[in-house]
Amino acid sequence: MDLLNTLVDKGLRRELPTREEALAVLATSDDDLLDVVAAAGKVRRQWFGRRVKLNYLVNLKSGLCPEDCSYCSQRLGSTAGILKYTWLKPDEASQAAAAGLAGGAKRVCLVASGRGPTDRDVDRVSETIKTIKDQNEGVEVCACLGLLSDGQAERLREAGADAYNHNLNTSEGTYADITTTHTYADRVDTVHKAHAAGLSACSGLIAGMGESDEDLVDVVYSLRELDPDSVPVNFLIPFEGTPLAKEWNLTPQRCLRILAMVRFVCPDVEVRIAGGREVHLRTMQPLALHLANSIFLGDYLTSEGQAGKADLEMIADAGFEVEGADQVTLPEHRAATAGGGCGSHESAGCGSHEGAGCGSHEGAGCGSHEGGGVCGTAAAAPVAAEPRTDLVAVRRRGAGTDLAPNA
Q: Give the alpha-carbon dihedral of 147, 152, 155, 161, to 10 degrees.
A: 10
CA–CA gap between residue 120 and residue 216 (Å, rounded): 36
Q: What is the DSSP letter of 79?
A: -
Q: What's the rounded Cα separation, in Å, for the pair 11 and 17?
A: 8
Beta strands in 216-314 (DSSP E): 230-235, 270-273, 294-296
Q: Contact, 62 vs 301, CB < 8 A?
A: yes
20 vs 397: CA distance, rounded Å: 45
Query: What span, in angstroms and rounded, lies between the C-alpha atoms of 98 and 134?
Result: 12
Where in the sequence numbering do the catalytic residues fall?
65, 69, 72, 109, 142, 202, 272
Cβ partners under 8 Å of residue 381, min gap 6: none
What is the β-pairing status of strands 200-202 and 205-207?
unpaired
Residue 176, classified by CB atoms within 10 Å of its CB into exposed (0-12), middle (13-18) or buried (19+), is exposed
Q: 219: which residues sit within 8 A by CB, 6+ positions away? A: 168, 169, 170, 171, 172, 205
How far apart CA 358 and CA 314 sit, in angstroms, is 21
Asked whether the beta carbons of 62 and 85 are under 8 A apart, the reply is yes
Amino acid making up residue 58:
V
Pairing of strands 321-322, 107-112: unpaired
> How many CA atoms lie less than 13 Å away from 12 in the CB half-sphere?
11
